[in-house]
Amino acid sequence: MTATPSLRRTLLLWLLWPLLLIAPAAAALQYALILKPSLQIFDRVLGDNVLAIANFLHAGPAGLQFEMSAQTERSLRTAQTDALFYAVIGPGGELLAGDPPVAEPATAMAVDEWRFYDAEVFDQAVRVAAHGVRCGEAVCQVRVAETRTARDALRNEMIAAIAASLLLFAVATAVTVLVATARGLRPLQRLSRQLGARSLGDLRPLVAADVPGEAVPVVDAMNRLLERVQAGSAAQQAFLADAAHQLRTPLATLKTEAELALLQPHPPELQATLQRLDQAAARAARLSSQLLTLARSDASARAALPLAAVDLKAVATEAVQEWVPRAVDAGIDLGFELQPAVLTGQAFLLREMLANLLHNALTYAGRGAQVTIRTGVAEGAPFLEVEDDGPGIAAADRGRLLQRFQRGDQASGSGSGLGLAIVSDIVQAHGAHIELGEASAGRGLRVWVRFATSPDAGPP
Ligand SMILES: Nc1ncnc2c1ncn2[C@@H]1O[C@H](COP(=O)(O)OP(=O)(O)OP(=O)(O)O)[C@@H](O)[C@H]1O
Ligand SMILES: [Mg+2]
């Protein structure tokens, strides 16, 4: 989705490069501190063998003598897992005893000098310890050669151990980085989920409580932006409310004047014009009042309206006076089934919500229809319901008609398509839930608004 590299990848990459440098350095250190001293122990044991053999070399009056019993030689050769060879070399380079290949190559040595080197004897790789010993006035040499089986086995084991420990270290570090970034990023993911779940009008500042310190400036910047958006939106709503409010008086005057003109004696050819004028004035007045309601139901404007305990039963009872005569005019039987339903909300908006629902029911249900308003508490939640047995709204259209300026295909008369949008806004403003469904009669529309369960709501 994004072209920017992920934080996790960047961290891993930055970790990998130093690891590539650190790993060989650590390996060299382990070689110098552990492997090399261990291999030197083998050389020391080999040196001990040289000294043991040198003990059998004597310089007597009868010349140089080397006297090692066959049994001693056997036990010397078979004491180790590795094969052992030796050579006792006289001052002139001549072989006094032992295996001829060990005496090769002939090199001069000083008394008490030690030399250790790798060579090949009887086609086998060996480690040789050579030592110069005094024999009479001259210098003899004792050399012991040992095959490298035990030595190589130890070296291989140690290299494997070093490699395994470095690998373990690298993997553990990588896993730690992955887990740590995942954990470190979790608060940010929570924040983005929280933002994603927000409704459009929710411009409250983000809470930076559990985001990592590095992200706090981002949250702060976002909050400042939200503040500015909120201020802009509030200004816009205030303008809309003001404009709608300013329009009300001249429109009311216009309507009154049109009504008055209709009552005065007037030329019959003006009758139709005056009636159209009267209707247009009524429509404009209603539209301006709807715009005012929309502006007031907006999140930024709502804060200014007082929140109070409102009984939906009282709201519906107030509507009787205005709506029963209008229902009678429209040939509609308006019924009330009211139970107390107390909630915390804004009375003005709730009255407007009911007015829009009743206006629709009276407009669209048709002559002879039955319209019922119900209030009460169901499962602890206050509700308001307006039901009619008119043509209803097809299920596929319900979602669309809740939006602004959307009207039904068959809708006639002077509507703007704002009524249900206003209802929907007010429902949202109260954190309530709206459902458009079939009426219980099997035909008609049932609008059901269920408010949040309130602890102080009366019993069902
Ligand atoms: N009780 C109802 N029965 C049948 N159809 C309805 C009912 N209420 C609303 N509608 C349909 O839903 C559409 C949208 O209603 P809404 O109240 O939003 O706008 P409107 O009534 O057309 O215009 P306004 O309310 O702004 O004057 C209406 O045009 C109508 O087709
Ligand atoms: Mg309407």
**Which protein residue has the closest C-alpha to ligand 1 atom 22?**
417
Q: Helices 70-78 & 36-54, crossing angle to 10 degrees?
A: 170
Exposed, middle or buried: residue 396 (CB in 10 Å: 0-12, 13-18, 19+)? exposed
| Least confident span in 98-107, 122-131, 330-339 | 98-107
Atom of ligand 1 nearest to the CA of 287: 26
Ligand 1 pocket mutation pick from 286, 293, 407, 424 by most atoms within 8 angstroms of CB: 407
Beta strand 381-388 with 370-378 is antiparallel
**Which protein residue has the closest C-alpha to ligand 1 atom 11?**
408
CA distance 206 to 30: 52
Name which residue leads in pLDDT, 320 or 414: 320
Residue 269, pLDDT score: 93
Atom of ligand 1 nearest to the CA of 402: 18
CA of 400 from ligand 1 middle (Å) equals 11
The closest of 57, 226, 224, 228 to 131, measured between CA atoms, is 57
CA distance 104 to 95: 10
Atom of ligand 1 nearest to the CA of 286: 27
Q: How far is CA 161 from the centre of its chain?
A: 39
CA distance 393 to 444: 7
Exposed, middle or buried: residue 263 (CB in 10 Å: 0-12, 13-18, 19+)? exposed
CA of 407 from ligand 2 middle (Å) equals 8
Copy the structure tokens of residue 189.
């993911």
Q: How far is CA 325 from the centre of its chain?
A: 58
Copy the structure tokens of residue 399.
């979602």
Rounded average pLDDT over 6-26: 83
**Cα distance from N-terminal residue to C-terminal residue, the chain:** 51
Ligand 1 pocket mutation pick from 412, 414, 420, 426 by most atoms within 8 angstroms of CB: 420
Q: Which amino acid is at 222?
A: M
Return the SS3 of 247: helix
Q: Is the entire prediction scored with pTM above 0.95?
A: no
Residue 424, pLDDT score: 95
Give ranges for CATH 1.10.287.130 in the chain: 217-300
Residue 459, pLDDT score: 39
Cβ < 6 A, ligand 1 pocket: 290, 356, 360-361, 364-365, 388, 390-393, 401, 407-408, 411, 415-421, 445
The closest of 135, 137, 117, 136 to 127, measured between CA atoms, is 117
Residue 3, pLDDT score: 59
Copy the structure tokens of residue 398.
């319900």
CA distance 230 to 245: 22
Return the SS3 of 210: coil
Residue 458, pLDDT score: 39
Cα separations (Å) of 93 from 103, 104, 239? 8, 10, 116
- Which ligand minimizes its atom distance to the CA of 362? 1
Name which residue leads in pLDDT, 31 or 457: 31
115 pLDDT tier (thresholds 50, 70, 90): very high
CA of 245 from ligand 2 middle (Å) equals 20
447 pLDDT tier (thresholds 50, 70, 90): very high
CA of 411 from ligand 2 middle (Å) equals 9
CA of 199 from ligand 1 middle (Å) equals 24
Which tens digits make up the pLDDT trace of 40-67?
899 999 999 999 999 998 887 878 888 8
Cα torsion 100, 101, 105, 108: sign: negative
Cα torsion 158, 160, 164, 166: sign: positive
CA distance 155 to 188: 50
Residue 460, pLDDT score: 33
Atom of ligand 1 nearest to the CA of 417: 19
- Which ligand minimizes its atom distance to the CA of 406? 1
Which tens digits make up the pLDDT trace of 203-225?
888 887 778 888 889 889 999 99
Q: Which residue has the tokens 């009207």?
A: 407
CA of 420 from ligand 2 middle (Å) equals 6
Alpha helix (H) ranges present in 264-346? 271-297, 299-302, 312-330
Which tens digits make up the pLDDT trace of 144-186?
999 999 889 988 998 898 889 888 988 888 888 888 888 888 8
Ligand 1 pocket mutation pick from 332, 360, 397 by most atoms within 8 angstroms of CB: 360
- Which ligand minimizes its atom distance to the CA of 409? 1
Return the SS3 of 13: helix
CA distance 319 to 280: 24
CA of 352 from ligand 2 middle (Å) equals 11
Report the CATH number of the 217-300 domain.
1.10.287.130
Give ranges for CATH 3.30.450 in the chain: 7-154
- Which ligand minimizes its atom distance to the CA of 283? 1
Return the SS3 of 434: strand
Angle at 443 between CA 438 and CA 446, to 5 degrees: 35
Residue 110, pLDDT score: 92
Atom of ligand 1 nearest to the CA of 397: 12
Q: Which H/E stretch holds residue 68? A: none
Residue 457, pLDDT score: 41
Q: Are 285 and 188 in contact (CB under 8 A)?
A: no
- b or e along 204-233 (b: 16 or more beta carbons within 10 Å of the residue's beta carbon)? eebebeebeeebeeebeebbeeeeeebeeb
CA of 419 from ligand 2 middle (Å) equals 4
Name the percent of the chain lying above pLDDT 90.
53
Return the SS3 of 207: coil
Return all residues near 228 (Cβ < 8 A) that are at least 6 apart: none
Residue 304, pLDDT score: 67
Residue 247, pLDDT score: 92
Rounded average pLDDT over 232-244: 88
300 has pLDDT over 70: no
- Which ligand minimizes its atom distance to the CA of 420? 1
Return all residues near 313 (Cβ < 8 A) that are at least 6 apart: 338, 339, 340, 341, 375
**Which protein residue has the closest C-alpha to ligand 1 atom 9?**
360
- The fold for domain 7-154 equals Beta-Lactamase (3.30.450)
358 has pLDDT over 90: yes
Classify domain 305-450 by CATH architecture.
2-Layer Sandwich (3.30)
Ligand 1 pocket mutation pick from 283, 288, 364 by most atoms within 8 angstroms of CB: 364
Mean pLDDT of the chain: 89
